Amino acid sequence: MLLRLLLVALPFLLFSVTHAEQEKWNVLFIAADDMNNDLSAFGHSQVKTPNLERLASMGVRFDRAYCQQPLCGPSRASLMTGLRPDTLDMHTLKHELREKNPDVVTLGQLFRQNGYYSARAGKIYHYGNPSQIGTDANDDPETWDERFNPAGIDKTQEEKITRYGKGRQNKGLGISMAWWDPVSKDEEHTDGMVASKIIELMKQKKDEPFFLAAGFFNPHCPYVAPKRYFDLYPLEEITIPDLEEAKADLADVPPMAIQRDTKHWPYYFEDVTIEQARRCKQAYFACNSFVDAQVGRLLDALEENGLLEKTIIVFWSDHGYFLGEKGLWYKRKAFERSAQMPLIIAAPGLTEGGVTKKPVELLDLYPTLADLCGLEAPSNLEGASLRPILVDPENAEWEKPAVTQIWHNPSAWGYSIRTERWRYTEWVEGAAGRELYDHHEDPEEITNLASDESKAGLVKTLSAQLKPFVQLKAHKRN
């Protein structure tokens, strides 16, 4: 009797398995490098990003998303493992993920283990940009079935890039005030090639589940994009904050908060002029629009291949970026503009056109994708699934704060916690200073309230809330 029941049920079981296999959601994982929230998709009308606006209309825009450390290497390693930099013991650009964490299961690796094709083109883990373009750089081979490393004219014709700053003409471009606006096609550039490869892989793999990662190098310096994107931003429309006001903004900030930036303030390098900073800001905006155009190509390809209804799309950057605010440039700071970055998630059947103000973290992406795709994630992940927010962006129960840390050396480090209203930062557990900013009243973080007696209770509460996250290993602190 039992055998007869099994024979009757077998065709239905096989159908269910096959159907479930067909219904596996794909993941398109799109990364930008050093992109802040100065985007029309996030309310900054000057910077034209129509394709990110299109993506936001398909899903949820996270207005308060934060990295775990505003430096490419540790931020990306944290995101791809769902573990904080302290847990990984990774705070620099060194290639040490597997050396220190040999048994970690990365995000792409989890998908591989569950029958997905996992591949990337471009930068997902850390790359020296542009020095390591065209190589595997600090990549993790266990994450992927295949890896692709295109190199465009932004890499092969570096000698044409204009560089600013005293003594910088023969220096590297990885940290630089530098730009180039060639009359060129998108596909002549590395990021255009990245998009083309991912589109090719979509077509090849459209009948099997995939985890495809498009890692764009822009808008990381040097700021290089086809001239037509520069033309979107007439130089006379590019403004730079007043330097006297910028200097005043820093008067109540602990020295450790800006110790990397004070030697040649403003703009990091010696003798960079305001006009040169404006030119670099124009170029940065152009690079954002260039990345946006590549996102549009990817969205078009999903639609053309009938994949939109079964693909989760994630757009993220590894951290934010200063463009002259407070006279600062680049990242590696605990301020909002450095810790915050754009995040958009579009998932079939979930909210479309939603916006949330809940503070979330990049390490939440790993448990979110595992949850949405029905995969069993490692039990040690330190983030949380964003599913509740994707279902109800405005009213979801979400009490978890976002924590960002800075590490310069064993004597200079700090942690910053972001709630819906407050940003609170401690340098060396308060011994080197504290910062408190009210984002309801002071979104640009002009006034440090940490020493305000009326806020003493709040400082104590936030300090206690932050303390469990301070897990820096002994050899990383004095």
Q: What positions carry a catalytic annotation?
A: 72, 126
Quote the CA–CA distance of 307 and 300 in Å, as a whole number. Answer: 10
Q: Are 66 and 316 in contact (CB under 8 A)?
A: no
**Can you point out the beta strands (E) in 248-359?**
311-317, 322-323, 329-330, 343-346, 354-356
Q: Could you write out the DSSP letters of every residue in 112-168?
A: HHTT-EEEEEE-SS---TTTTTTS-TT--GGG-SEEE----HHHHTGGG-EEESTT-
Task: Tell me the β-bridge partners of 437.
Answer: 423
Helix H or strand E encompassing 27: strand 26-32
Helix H or strand E encompassing 80: helix 72-81
Q: Could you write out the DSSP letters of every residue in 420-459?
A: SSEEEEEETTTTT-EEEEETTT-TT--S--TT-GGGHHHH
Strand order in the sheet with 223-224: 162-164, 177-180, 223-224
Q: Angle, to 10 degrees, between the axis of helix 190-205 and the axis of helix 274-304?
A: 10
**Each residue of 448-472: b (16+ CB within 10 Å) or e?**
bbbeeeebeebbeebbeebeebbeb
Cβ burial of 268 (10 Å; 0-12, 13-18, 19+) is buried
Cβ burial of 442 (10 Å; 0-12, 13-18, 19+) is middle
